[in-house]
Amino acid sequence: MKIIAINGSPRKKWNTATLLEKALEGARTRGAETEIVHLYDLTYKGCSSCFACKMKGGKSYGVCAMKDGLTPVLEKLATADAFLLGSPIYFGTVTGEMRSFMERLLFQYFAYTSPPTSLFSRRIPTAFVYTMNVSEETMKEFHYPVHLGMNQNYLARVFGPCETLICNETLQFEDYGKVVFEYFDPEERKKRHNIIFPNDCRKAFDLGERLVKSATKGVS
């Protein structure tokens, strides 16, 4: 049983990465082998619209033909039993690296049939973990759930059932006194973080356990 986490944050030891590690910890308690991939360590680009993955009889049909730092990651995900993605929200959407990764991951399996179908040969459970500075109320006010829901829909359509874990009002800095910041009271945010983030970590741990359980049972 192999579970892979993809970190779309430039930080390897902060909110998003911590939650992904907690999810993998939960998966390991269920006997899974785990791995985390940090996208900012890789050199790659988004989809180039070469359409090699769509060519009838082509040697790259259903497989991204681009060869770069992302290629071995896509190969690992092709054989994984489950995976989860994680990204902070920048200007209402995932990071640029995560977006480019998703283009490459999803488009190779997306078939232009009516209705659209998936070329991925199995159905596996997936999940998406988001971290963001804004509150749940602000997130809804600015329609973040529309974008996040689309990501869940695409993953579910291509791979199988997908869960979403959203963590609001995360801590951005260790020392707010070093940056120009008047958006909210840093001390209040730190107090909230100390209370709420451990609960978010528990949710991520439980999510990892559920991924293994779902993968073991098989999805339909």
Q: Which domain holds residue 79?
A: 2-217
The pLDDT assigned to 113 comes to: 87
Residues in the chain, pLDDT under 50: none
The pLDDT assigned to 180 comes to: 78
The pLDDT assigned to 48 comes to: 94
The pLDDT assigned to 157 comes to: 93
- CA-nearest of 57, 54, 34, 39 to 209 is 34
The structure tokens listed for 158 are 């291509």
Backbone angles phi, psi at 91, to 5 degrees: 50, 45
The pLDDT assigned to 112 comes to: 86
Instruction: Check which CATH number belongs to the domain holding 187 and give it.
Output: 3.40.50.360
The pLDDT assigned to 132 comes to: 92
Name residues whose C-beta falls within 8 Å of residue 170's C-beta, 6 or more positions apart in sequence: 15, 88, 131, 132, 133, 193, 197
The pLDDT assigned to 219 comes to: 59
The pLDDT assigned to 29 comes to: 95
133-146 pLDDT tens trace? 888 999 999 999 99
**Largest Cα–Cα distance in the chain?**
60
The pLDDT assigned to 205 comes to: 97
Number of domains in the chain: 1
